[in-house]
Structure 1
């Protein structure tokens, strides 16, 4: 029997929900608890039958009730009075519609305490997990509880093993992901991507008598965690143990229920970034598909005060992906490896010196990144964007050390015959094997390249440019020299001038210590300063409009054609004499001064002339040798920067740009083909015009 035949049966239960007016976006919350109930019952019944076979029919009939309970308890898979003591299942309870509600309530309360908590049987406040109690209340109000429960009771999963039920669960959760509005990848990772991740992990591990510990810090319902484990178990005899944590109540409950029916699995509930439930554990393998573009503002304080030292840098508060990345790296043992799914922002978001860039630099400095694989678009159910697999490895082969491989697998797919939401492609088996073989070979080919890790580093060199006029002069040459506090002679930063008049575009200021204001328009001198004088000063622009500053000796202005300050004498003896002062700025300032013993409350206007300095940044390729790097920076400056400048700080950034490396320019069409097409269109237009004329 193929368990996927039940997919349509399970999804048909939603028809009843639609019929009683329940919104499609709410269907998963109604279906999850009943799907979990069906899984639990089928597995408990099967476990009960297996126990009978182990003990023997005659011994089983005569076994003491307490001894039977202990045997069941030892299995650690749960308990239900109806199943184990009355030999009844949900289908039996649904035979009598008159006593159904009482029997169903007793059936649910007949589970062990742990199962009741996960299902939310007695939930009233706090964590409700699957909240079957709340769902039942809503179904009662719609008068469809019996009909809905009966549909689920008819779905018989007892003949199927754990792996088969997990496969069905993955398909159902995928459909829930299709109709949910959650962030892409937050709820469900496609089976083909899980298979690729498992193949990558399998290529890095060996048979051993040691336990292989696999960890997923955002495990959701467990489809990736358990899917990877199942595939590893198919290839190796090595014992595995799975660990997972998730904050979503319902998905955690599904994963926790699934974990009970696996030989060795531990699933915890909670926010991994705030409370690591496996704080004292390290793992051989880490995997995750953390949420994309989700804010961590709600627990910013906790993360900022984290004492575990797992977060080297804190990325933008709007996206916590790189927090999960740092956490996962902290969980790897000394030879551990991992595969993490991210969107493109983890590759290039943040400028040099930003937390994102620093995290990438720390990862490459630590030589933990072995490869990054670009998956095809339209791979996930909620989004068509490119996604990426980061392959982490603390046990790189010798020829992989200090290297990073980029694999552009965007064309490694098979189109689906029928789209599943946004998913239109799948990385088929041949493509998966090809990608894994490329990673293992670790050599350049037509869709993959290996780089020294420093290839992805770059210098962001800050410089202070001194702008000059057409003659190559700066106002800096006009600045007087003065001793600083250390006794060294240095130029002052500006020259203050005493204005008698400021004129620009018809605006004229003749008072430069203002004490009066129009009381009918302003309530105080402070308001006059804030609402009138500051906006007026802000509008003065020495470049956009002719700004003239007149003093007792000269008139100052800026010549935009020559890009220089002009000083024109107003003294009668030499009136009109002009002098160029070099490229500079005219800065008009206004400040409010409180009254003192000697001076009244006032507004003071002042003017300064300064050189025209401009801070700029240059992006320059990085060299790992410090001397070579500095030489490269200087060569770049000599080639591209013609103005005087001073070096400021240099920050090394890191980004991994697939587009730059694998860019393929669009092939240009032949000219004769384009000309022929234009001619054909011209003939077509003439024919249309002729038709209109008739």
Structure 2
């Protein structure tokens, strides 16, 4: 069964719910039942063996759990003689038997259904006389991994959640990362690690602080399986949404990952992996979402712990918390002497330039660039995400740059690299093809400046090219007669008093001498001006689009005049025709 057919089948369960449930509530039933059926199918081949092992260990008075895990061949088990199909044989006791079946799962699976608040939905379905019908509908599909791969299953969950979010109008800030964008990010963070891609038995860790349903972690694992099946990628994550967390945890269970590494909660206010560091990281934090709810905890960590905490460099404005996730990932980087780290994070345009010198955003950029952590930024096409059409950018950050990249930042404009989707999914109308991904990875890997069709697509800069000094230009206050007013007290005594109404600022590139700039750009226009050096601030911004702008000269004026004349002559002829 392909993904579309599978999604359509699961979606058809909504027909049973219509009337007793609002559209916005369908997901509360369909998502946990889909997970339950998946787990049910995964355990089916070893069911008899598990029950035999249980009876044997109970007879011997031995705690059975470790033996049941081994018999199941998974990192979870179910000790009940029931399964979903057997539940169909006793319609009158479906509620009690379903609760008994779920209660017989190992602890980690029971936690998944608690996150779904599944008990309440079973009771509600029972009272509406729908429980048997819904359960029976799910027994009709085979969700064993031999029939539906983990990758397929992940896509199914993401599509269902997207549909439910649209129905309940809960899309603000919720971004599922398109699979092709994740593949691009995975290629970019792994490209320079030959050991991991070729050495048998190598073990690496990967972390996603905004794990969602686990798509980024899963695709990273699939990539490594394809390139080095004998390597091991241990996955870590944290997720705030309980339904997404439950799905991610179920997916990790089936993959044999340690689900204790997937933590529930708000990453910014309650770091579930405090003190830990990782080899690789991926994240797509929500864009433009305020962090007011966690402001108290974040400010406390910033003020009390400084650089010993996660938010030492500075705090962005409360209206957009995406740069807090950038800082969080920086704090999770493995020290260089332990091998270092590389991560990819998807951000909108705001973190590139929002905030002047001295602002939280500028100080975060300053920290990243002055510590030579930013390797590349890739500008993606618009209309790439399911519920936003805005421009997005992938930042590649590392503390183990190769020698030829040290002190440099590569900008790649991939905004024209896309193909139209056969069918739009929400706001997503464009996608990256395999060829586009390969081209972006090639540009990154070769670390060269390049053009396509006469337009730059890859440019390389020094870190300092993005820095500037904001100088304060003062001019003297004058009295009614036009004479300069002199200061009367302290250091200002006898010196021209600045007129705050005439005060101005100038941004001077870091690589340019301030006095030289001032004499060239300011003094010729205002000879009485001076710089207040005490107010000078250093800032950083990355004007991505400006660096790829290509000036197109306007058409010659004669051509424009000729077009206008042809148009006016045509209008005149039409009017004359109407009057004839």
Q: Which residue of 1 aligns with 2:265?
A: 270
Q: Which residue of 1 aligns with 2:254?
A: 261
Q: Are residue 247 (structure 1) and residue 240 (structure 2) matched?
A: yes
| Aligned equivalents of 1:432, 1:156: Cα separation in 2 | 34
Check whether the contact 1:185–1:380 (CA below 8 A) recurs between aligned residues.
no
Offset of 1:5 from its aligned partner?
A: 3.4
Structure 1 residue aligned with 2:484, among 476, 489, 496?
Answer: 476
Q: Which residue of 2 aligns with 1:26?
A: 25
Q: Which residue of 2 aligns with 1:513?
A: none
Q: Are residue 204 (structure 1) and residue 192 (structure 2) matched?
A: yes
Deviations, residues 167-195 of structure 1 (Å, cap 9, x unaligned):
44344444445556445663411111111
Structure 2 residue aligned with 1:444, among 423, 445, 449?
Answer: 449
Q: Are residue 685 (structure 1) and residue 571 (structure 2) matched?
A: yes
Structure 1 residue aligned with 2:389, among 384, 391, 405?
Answer: 384
| Aligned equivalents of 2:53, 2:309: Cα separation in 1 | 55
| Structure with greater helix percent | 2
Secondary structure in structure 2 of the residue aligned to 1:98: helix
Offset of 1:469 from its aligned partner?
A: 9.6
| Aligned equivalents of 2:402, 2:499: Cα separation in 1 | 56
Check whether the contact 2:94–2:131 (CA below 8 A) recurs between aligned residues.
no
| Aligned equivalents of 2:279, 2:499: Cα separation in 1 | 60
Offset of 1:654 from its aligned partner?
A: 0.7
Offset of 1:8 from its aligned partner?
A: 1.6
- Distance change in 2, residues 1:644/1:665 (3 Å): closer
Offset of 1:279 from its aligned partner?
A: 1.4
- Distance change in 2, residues 1:185/1:195 (3 Å): farther
| Aligned equivalents of 1:63, 1:425: Cα separation in 2 | 57
| Aligned equivalents of 1:663, 1:329: Cα separation in 2 | 31
Q: What aligned pairs does 1:647-686 form with structure 2 within 5 A after superposition?
A: 647-648=532-533, 649-665=535-551, 668-669=554-555, 674-675=560-561, 677-679=563-565, 681-682=567-568, 684-686=570-572
Secondary structure in structure 2 of the residue aligned to 1:33: helix
- Distance change in 2, residues 1:311/1:691 (3 Å): same
- Distance change in 2, residues 1:184/1:614 (3 Å): same
| Aligned equivalents of 2:574, 2:523: Cα separation in 1 | 61
Secondary structure in structure 1 of the residue aligned to 2:502: strand
| Structure with greater strand percent | 1
- Distance change in 2, residues 1:211/1:642 (3 Å): same
Deviations, residues 554-593 of structure 1 (Å, cap 9, x unaligned):
xxxxxxxxxxxxxxxxxxxxxxxxxxxxxxxxxxxxxxxx
| Aligned equivalents of 2:528, 2:28: Cα separation in 1 | 65
Offset of 1:47 from its aligned partner?
A: 4.9
Structure 1 residue aligned with 2:407, among 402, 407, 410?
Answer: 402
Check whether the contact 2:475–2:499 (CA below 8 A) recurs between aligned residues.
no
Offset of 1:60 from its aligned partner?
A: 7.4
| Aligned equivalents of 2:175, 2:499: Cα separation in 1 | 58
Check whether the contact 2:175–2:386 (CA below 8 A) recurs between aligned residues.
no
Q: Which residue of 2 aligns with 1:517?
A: none
Deviating more after overlay: 256-265 vs 389-398:
256-265
Q: What aligned pairs does 1:99-110 form with structure 2 within 5 A after superposition?
A: 99-110=93-104
Deviating more after overlay: 398-407 vs 306-315:
306-315
Structure 2: gaps (5+ residues): 452-456
Structure 2 residue aligned with 1:156, among 122, 128, 142?
Answer: 142
Offset of 1:224 from its aligned partner?
A: 1.4
| Aligned equivalents of 1:426, 1:179: Cα separation in 2 | 24
| Aligned equivalents of 2:493, 2:554: Cα separation in 1 | 62
Structure 2 residue aligned with 1:459, among 455, 469, 479?
Answer: 469
- Distance change in 2, residues 1:321/1:61 (3 Å): closer
| Aligned equivalents of 1:657, 1:34: Cα separation in 2 | 48
Check whether the contact 1:185–1:289 (CA below 8 A) recurs between aligned residues.
no
Q: TM-score, normalised by structure 2?
A: 0.86
Alignment RMSD (CA, Å): 3.1
Q: Which protein is bigger by CA-based radius of gyration?
A: 1
Q: Are residue 71 (structure 1) and residue 67 (structure 2) matched?
A: yes
Offset of 1:403 from its aligned partner?
A: 0.5
| Aligned equivalents of 1:490, 1:670: Cα separation in 2 | 58
Offset of 1:373 from its aligned partner?
A: 0.6
Offset of 1:202 from its aligned partner?
A: 2.6
Q: Are residue 90 (structure 1) and residue 94 (structure 2) matched?
A: no
Q: Which residue of 1 aligns with 2:379?
A: 374
Q: Which residue of 2 aligns with 1:291?
A: 286
Structure 2 residue aligned with 1:217, among 186, 199, 209?
Answer: 209
Q: Are residue 623 (structure 1) and residue 508 (structure 2) matched?
A: no
Offset of 1:269 from its aligned partner?
A: 1.1
Check whether the contact 1:295–1:317 (CA below 8 A) recurs between aligned residues.
yes
Q: Which residue of 2 aligns with 1:338?
A: 343
- Distance change in 2, residues 1:635/1:687 (3 Å): closer
Deviations, residues 626-652 of structure 1 (Å, cap 9, x unaligned):
xx3443344333345444334241111
| Aligned equivalents of 1:226, 1:166: Cα separation in 2 | 8
- Distance change in 2, residues 1:365/1:485 (3 Å): closer
Secondary structure in structure 1 of the residue aligned to 2:92: coil
- Distance change in 2, residues 1:395/1:154 (3 Å): same
Provide the aligned length of Structure 1 versus Structure 2.
Answer: 550
| Aligned equivalents of 1:142, 1:688: Cα separation in 2 | 70
Q: Which residue of 2 aligns with 1:546?
A: none
Q: Which residue of 2 aligns with 1:607?
A: none
Q: Are residue 490 (structure 1) and residue 494 (structure 2) matched?
A: yes
Q: TM-score, normalised by structure 1?
A: 0.73
- Distance change in 2, residues 1:492/1:135 (3 Å): same
Offset of 1:443 from its aligned partner?
A: 1.1
- Distance change in 2, residues 1:669/1:16 (3 Å): farther
Offset of 1:97 from its aligned partner?
A: 3.4
Structure 1: gaps (5+ residues): 121-128, 494-609
| Aligned equivalents of 2:88, 2:568: Cα separation in 1 | 75
Deviations, residues 355-400 of structure 1 (Å, cap 9, x unaligned):
1000000000110100011110000000000111000111111110
Check whether the contact 1:623–1:629 (CA below 8 A) recurs between aligned residues.
no
